[in-house]
């Protein structure tokens, strides 16, 4: 009975409360309500969801449901996409506050989208584009990161060179390993920052309780 209860808790928490089953069924990263999620690991999404990005500027290599997720939370977002086929279907979903940059499918064009942008600094830089491009993006991202900002490297367990480059530039690395919406295996999303994070929490406490945590905080702890 005890083991069955544990299995039911896992099923309820991951498949339903996190919305993994809905994401798998629909073939896209959404939560239990159908709202868009980044295709990051659930632990990374939990961490990011408790921070206040309302005054933040976001630069994102790789558009997708993460673009929609950030658009609800940040002040400005620039997203870079090099797939014309994906852009043709996705662009209509993007809110007007999103600056959508369609570039040629070359690493040079994607780097120039950041380096030649009129905005010189960004509070959040997301590296989630074509895998072989990511280490080159990591090389230039720090030069455009604001004080107290963060760089998010998705699939960092498969982009070891990119992760190493960010560490050697003096950034601190926090790895969030776990399952992602709709996928049956675990991976890692890493967040890099220098010294401190400028983003306050949305609540008066941190960490916020996971949607799969049924227990309240312990008293006097």
What CA–CA distance (Å, rounded) separates 141 from 78? 14
Q: Give 24-38 pLDDT, tens digit per residue.
A: 999 999 999 999 999
How would you label 161-198 residue by residue, b for 16+ Cβ within 10 Å and e otherwise? ebbebbeebebeeeebebbbbbeeeebbbbbbbbeeeb
**8 Cβ contact list (under 8 Å, min separation 6):** none
Q: What percent of the chain has pLDDT over 70?
A: 99
What CA–CA distance (Å, rounded) separates 172 from 59? 19
5 pLDDT tier (thresholds 50, 70, 90): confident
210 pLDDT tier (thresholds 50, 70, 90): confident
Of 92-96, 160-164, 173-177, the least confident: 92-96
Looking at residue 113, its pLDDT comes to 97
What CA–CA distance (Å, rounded) separates 175 from 188? 6
Q: For Cα atoms 120, 121, 127, give the angle at the middle one, nearest 5 degrees.
A: 115
Of 51-55, 87-91, 153-157, the least confident: 87-91
Assign domain 34-193 to its CATH superfamily: Vaccinia Virus protein VP39 (3.40.50.150)
Looking at residue 7, its pLDDT comes to 73
Instruction: Kindly list the strands in the beta sheet with 57-61, ordered across the sheet, starting from the edge strand earlier in the chain.
Output: 98-102, 76-81, 57-61, 122-127, 145-154, 186-193, 172-179
Q: Give 90-122 pLDDT, tens digit per residue.
A: 888 888 889 999 999 999 999 999 999 999 999
Looking at residue 8, its pLDDT comes to 74
How do beta strands 145-154 and 186-193 pair?
antiparallel
Q: How many CA atoms lie within 13 A of 63 on its CB side?
A: 28
Looking at residue 110, its pLDDT comes to 97
């Amino acid at each position: 009975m005890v083991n069955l209860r544990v299995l039911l808790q896992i099923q309820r928490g991951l498949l339903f409360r996190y919305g993994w089953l809905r994401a798998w069924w629909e073939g896209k990263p959404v939560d239990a309500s159908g709202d868009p999620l980044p295709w990051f690991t659930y632990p990374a999404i939990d961490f990011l969801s408790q921070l206040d990005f309302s005054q933040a500027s976001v630069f994102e290599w790789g558009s997708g449901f993460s673009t929609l997720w950030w658009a609800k939370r940040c002040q400005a977002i620039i997203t870079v996409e090099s797939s014309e086929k994906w852009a043709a279907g996705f662009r209509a979903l993007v809110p007007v506050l999103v600056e959508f940059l369609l570039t040629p499918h070359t690493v040079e064009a994607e780097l120039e989208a950041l380096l030649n942008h009129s905005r010189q600094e960004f509070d959040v830089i997301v590296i989630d584009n074509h895998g072989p491009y990511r280490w080159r993006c990591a090389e230039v991202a720090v030069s455009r990161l604001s004080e107290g900002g963060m760089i998010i490297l998705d699939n960092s367990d498969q982009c070891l060179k990119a992760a190493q480059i960010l560490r050697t530039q003096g950034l601190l690395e926090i790895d969030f390993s776990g399952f992602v919406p709709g996928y049956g295996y675990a991976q890692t999303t890493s967040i890099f920052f220098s010294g401190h994070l400028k983003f306050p929490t949305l609540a008066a406490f941190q960490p916020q309780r996971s949607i799969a945590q049924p227990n309240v905080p312990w008293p006097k702890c």
